[in-house]
Chain A
Amino acid sequence: MGNGNVLELKGITKSFFGTTVLKDVNLSMNPGEIHALVGENGAGKSTLMNILFGMQVIFDTGGFDGQIVVGGQAVTIDSPRKAMELGIGMVHQEFMLIPGFTVSENIKLNREPTVRNVASRLFGPKLETLNEPLMQSDSKAALGKLAVSIDEMALVGTMPVGHMQFVEIAREIDKKNVRLLVFDEPTAVLTESEASLLLAAMKRLSSEGIAILFITHRLDEVMEVADNITILRDGEIVSRMPRSEAKLDRIAQLMVGRKIERPVLPPRKSEPSEKDVVLKVDNLKVDMPGERVRGLNLTVRRGEILGIGGLAGHGKVGIANGVIGMYPASGRVAKDGVQIPVNDPKRALLSGMAFVSEDRRGVGLLLDESIEMNIILTAMQVQGKFLKPGVLPNLRLEDRAAVREHALEVIRDLDIRCTGPAQLVRRLSGGNQQKVCLGRAFTMEPEVLWVSEPTRGIDVGAKQLVLDLLVKFNREHGMTIVMTSSELGELRKICDRIAIVYRGQIAGVLPPDASDVDFGLMMAGKSATLEEVS
């Protein structure tokens, strides 16, 4: 690659509070090149983009090391505006469009061509009239480049999602100096036909000399359009290859691959078996924004730890939320053969299930209440524990002594570091808050425990403690655990089986010691074994 590079990143290194998230990342792009950047959740893709666009969060956390070179000149990008001036555009995953404006108004927003009028001569350029014919013809031209037929006068709010995506792109390419476009998971919300239209549009753009950085975890799309592929893992570039040399399974392996040391877990009295099913989920559909579940079937064996993995946005988090009734759901859930109604948290909890939410602060805790209140409240409300005897069940009083005794016990068993059971949960560290959430669930003495992202946002030491606790309760109390996690590594550490979710359905169930290739392919929607069969 010569001096004709559009963009060159040299030795980008970034750490947040001592954790290195990007390590010596180099990347260069030629005009008209489609460069795919692939990696798991948390591989460092979004941090890299935040650096490229000069987002405030980077500077608030101490800046970064390394150099950005645009068009042969070293530049400092300290704001998204600066990135725009340099001709770097971004197509967002979530649309930044105003629903009540027309397509052309959205495309030209804040860059409207104007003509002078009487008022603007008197009071300044802010009062100039919009040049609407020009806005419309420019928009038409931009949309034309993408080869899509979208009416530039239509209101954005009334359009299908796929069209909004094109409006976003049109807005970026309408900027006259645009040299590089970043596509961040552009096909995540699109249907398959829309996605293929988008890929075609990307190719057209690249043929006009615009370089494209394509961030995705859909490997088949990468194979279709990318010229070069860079694989990022744990903040490091592990491999780079032209497409001609790339193979799907090789990329998958590189993306996921890391040595998993599976610790020797304590044995059970009897191993879970297919014959003893505790929970059966049929055709579950959950309407959870961003994590939709679309007709999923799942079988949970008594006494096992079942892992649910998959990439963000494919619905793995929606499963537990749907079964417990936090989001509107439909389908059949049967525990021990008895059907449990969906959309009714109370019945779900009464059936012997408990739930630790992925949204610890939003759903899992009462931040301004004491530790003991957080621990006992669900068990009190659902099972009527910790109440003094009384005539009217709903007016029975809280049994302070029993609450305090139980809270002290949980604090000791789960090793919650605090000043005492009356401390407010808000003041605890993330790891200890998570233990309170677990304590809340364990207090229910559930047969089946749903745990979502139990180690998200807590430090490394606490992560291990939380995993150990899950194993302990599984082994000592025979508690069946269904654990959802974005970290495949931790699923492989403690789970008996791992189900991978793709597009709202189970793509397959793998043993924890299955190969990286299998996991990688399955998460990307390409099941090696399935293909062999068909």
Chain B
Amino acid sequence: MSDESKADVRQYVRNAYEQLGLPRLIIIIFLLSLFAVAVIMRMDLAILVKDSITRIGMNGILVLAMLPTLACGVGLNFGLPVGVIAGLVGAVTSMNWGLKGFAGFAAAMAIAIPLAVIAGYLYAMLLERVQGQEMMVGTYVGFSLVSGMCMFWLLAPYRNPAMIFALGGKGLRTTITLDRTFGKVLNDFLGFSILDVYIPTGLLLFMGVFYVAIALFFKSKAGLAMRTVGSNPMYARSSGINVQGMRTLGVILSTVLAAIGILVYSQSYGFVQLYTAPLTAAFPAVASVLIGGASLRKATIGHALLGTVLFHTLLTIALPVTQTVLQGADISEIARMIMSNGMIIYALTRAERR
């Protein structure tokens, strides 16, 4: 090998490293070592891979929901539960009507999206009044809305016996199965197995469509305007961009993606979880996008995708592997907490102040 091509290779490696960044390199190495342990312990790799892929597909759109708010300068959308609840209302309403399969899923989306637009608009109005503290306020908006909605779940006039508490005959159950409605409709669509690994084609396609759509959006006039508002509102104003309008649009888009995201998540999981379940919905999504390399200043589709893959593969693999290694000691939940919350702290403290 000549000196020149050696230098080229070195340059290429250095560029690749800079692109990736140290935290991601560490996580990838950790991930690979977990796989190595799994092989050594003779665990069923096919199941691990299958679970990882499914979890990536389940969570991809929820993570994607972080991008619009990051782009328009509102920051990480800790108020993700706003959209999640819109999605859940869509899901239970569709179930109440007894719609099955794709029809049920489509109906849930058709109800959830307008609700998310309205909720997102109101949420954006609120955030506009607390500029500079959107993330803090968003967190508590999420918390209070989830708690407030507990009353709704209990009192709402849903009558489908499959959904309400068996005793008393009033109020929705905390966990409702989707077996007889739209559970796994996406996962099973065009699904196939390869080397014992089941590929949920429909789920991945659905996620892919949204990633491509959002990527294109950020290359469009409106998307560029949104990014401009995020990176310098004064420049945006001097370019005739409606700054408040773009921030509002970013929050609405994020809320709508959250609503769609939770529907995708639920159908894959097979259950709808109500009451306090959405309380922490934002945190895995926030951690994912940050692990992917996004910061308050810059966030791309690539960050969301890489973050989803890394974070959720890690969670899927870490759980059974640690359990096998430590023989039954269940530290996986704790490890998950440390990882996701630690990542949030790391990324937020590192973020440059505007």
Residues of A within 8 A of B (CB): 324-326, 345-350, 355, 357, 359, 362-369, 373, 377-378, 380-382, 384, 387, 393-398
Which B residues touch A365, using CB under 8 A? Answer: 232, 235
Is B241's beta carbon under 8 Å from chain A? yes
The reply to whether A377 and B228 form a contact with Cβ atoms under 8 Å apart is yes
A370 to B72, CA, bound (A): 18
Is B231's beta carbon under 8 Å from chain A? yes
Which B residues touch A345, using CB under 8 A? Answer: 237-240
15 additional contacts (CB under 8 A) given A346-B241, A363-B234, A368-B298? A345-B237, A345-B238, A346-B240, A347-B240, A357-B234, A359-B234, A363-B232, A363-B235, A364-B235, A366-B228, A377-B224, A377-B235, A381-B228, A387-B221, A398-B220
The reply to whether B231 and A369 form a contact with Cβ atoms under 8 Å apart is yes
The reply to whether B234 and A380 form a contact with Cβ atoms under 8 Å apart is no
The reply to whether A368 and B297 form a contact with Cβ atoms under 8 Å apart is yes
- A445, chain B: closest CB distance, angstroms: 15
The reply to whether A380 and B221 form a contact with Cβ atoms under 8 Å apart is yes
Is B264's beta carbon under 8 Å from chain A? no
Interface of A is mostly: helix
- B138, chain A: closest CB distance, angstroms: 24
- B213, chain A: closest CB distance, angstroms: 10
The reply to whether A381 and B221 form a contact with Cβ atoms under 8 Å apart is yes
The reply to whether A381 and B219 form a contact with Cβ atoms under 8 Å apart is no
- A446, chain B: closest CB distance, angstroms: 13
- B49, chain A: closest CB distance, angstroms: 36
Kindly identify, within residues 82 to 124 of chain B, every residue whose CB is under 8 Å from any CB belonging to chain A.
none
Which B residues touch A348, using CB under 8 A? Answer: 240
B217's nearest neighbour on chain A, judged by CB, is A395
Which A residues touch B239, using CB under 8 A? Answer: 345, 349, 377-378, 381-382
Is B222's beta carbon under 8 Å from chain A? yes
A345 to B236, CA, bound (A): 10
Pick 29 A–B contacts, CB within 8 A, sort by A.
A345-B238, A345-B239, A345-B240, A346-B240, A348-B240, A349-B239, A349-B240, A357-B238, A359-B234, A362-B232, A363-B232, A363-B237, A366-B231, A367-B232, A368-B231, A369-B231, A377-B228, A378-B239, A380-B221, A380-B224, A381-B224, A381-B228, A384-B221, A394-B220, A394-B222, A395-B217, A395-B221, A395-B222, A398-B221
A394 to B219, CA, bound (A): 11
A359 to B225, CA, bound (A): 20
Q: Interface size for chain B: under 10, 10 to 19, 20 to 34, or 35 or more residues?
A: 20 to 34
B238's nearest neighbour on chain A, judged by CB, is A363
- B18, chain A: closest CB distance, angstroms: 14
A363's nearest neighbour on chain B, judged by CB, is B234
Q: A357-B238, A368-B231 are in contact. Are A398 and B224 (CB under 8 A)?
A: yes
Which A residues touch B237, using CB under 8 A? Answer: 325-326, 345, 363
- A6, chain B: closest CB distance, angstroms: 44
The reply to whether B220 and A395 form a contact with Cβ atoms under 8 Å apart is yes
Which A residues touch B217, using CB under 8 A? Answer: 395
- CB within 8 A of B225: which of A355, A367, A381? A381
A440's nearest neighbour on chain B, judged by CB, is B239
B235's nearest neighbour on chain A, judged by CB, is A366
- B318, chain A: closest CB distance, angstroms: 35
Q: A368-B298, A377-B228, A381-B221 are in contact. Are A397 and B216 (CB under 8 A)?
A: yes
Kindly identify, within residues 202 to 232 of chain B, every residue whose CB is under 8 Å from any CB belonging to chain A.
216-217, 219-222, 224-225, 228, 231-232
The reply to whether B219 and A398 form a contact with Cβ atoms under 8 Å apart is yes
Which A residues touch B222, using CB under 8 A? Answer: 394-395
Which B residues touch A384, using CB under 8 A? Answer: 221
- B293, chain A: closest CB distance, angstroms: 15
Which B residues touch A355, using CB under 8 A? Answer: 238
A501 to B149, CA, bound (A): 60
- B252, chain A: closest CB distance, angstroms: 14
- A46, chain B: closest CB distance, angstroms: 26
The reply to whether A396 and B221 form a contact with Cβ atoms under 8 Å apart is yes
B232's nearest neighbour on chain A, judged by CB, is A366
A325 to B238, CA, bound (A): 8
A394's nearest neighbour on chain B, judged by CB, is B222
B240's nearest neighbour on chain A, judged by CB, is A346
The reply to whether A393 and B235 form a contact with Cβ atoms under 8 Å apart is no
- Counting from the closest, the 6 A-B pairs by CB-CB distance are A346-B240, A378-B239, A394-B222, A363-B234, A382-B240, A345-B240
A348 to B237, CA, bound (A): 12
Kindly identify, within residues 228 to 275 of chain B, every residue whose CB is under 8 Å from any CB belonging to chain A.
228, 231-232, 234-235, 237-242
Which B residues touch A368, using CB under 8 A? Answer: 231, 297-298
Which B residues touch A362, using CB under 8 A? Answer: 232, 234
Which B residues touch A349, using CB under 8 A? Answer: 239-240
A379's nearest neighbour on chain B, judged by CB, is B239
Which A residues touch B216, using CB under 8 A? Answer: 397
Which A residues touch B235, using CB under 8 A? Answer: 363-366, 377
A393 to B220, CA, bound (A): 9
- A442, chain B: closest CB distance, angstroms: 14
A283 to B139, CA, bound (A): 47
Kindly identify, within residues 112 to 164 of chain B, every residue whose CB is under 8 Å from any CB belonging to chain A.
none
B241's nearest neighbour on chain A, judged by CB, is A381
- B108, chain A: closest CB distance, angstroms: 26
A347 to B241, CA, bound (A): 11
A491 to B41, CA, bound (A): 79
B222's nearest neighbour on chain A, judged by CB, is A394
The reply to whether B221 and A394 form a contact with Cβ atoms under 8 Å apart is yes
The reply to whether B220 and A397 form a contact with Cβ atoms under 8 Å apart is yes
A361's nearest neighbour on chain B, judged by CB, is B232
A345's nearest neighbour on chain B, judged by CB, is B240
Which B residues touch A394, using CB under 8 A? Answer: 220-222
- B300, chain A: closest CB distance, angstroms: 13
A177 to B297, CA, bound (A): 51
The reply to whether A396 and B297 form a contact with Cβ atoms under 8 Å apart is no
Which B residues touch A367, using CB under 8 A? Answer: 232
- A185, chain B: closest CB distance, angstroms: 27
A346 to B232, CA, bound (A): 17
A378 to B225, CA, bound (A): 9
The reply to whether A393 and B238 form a contact with Cβ atoms under 8 Å apart is no
A173 to B310, CA, bound (A): 65
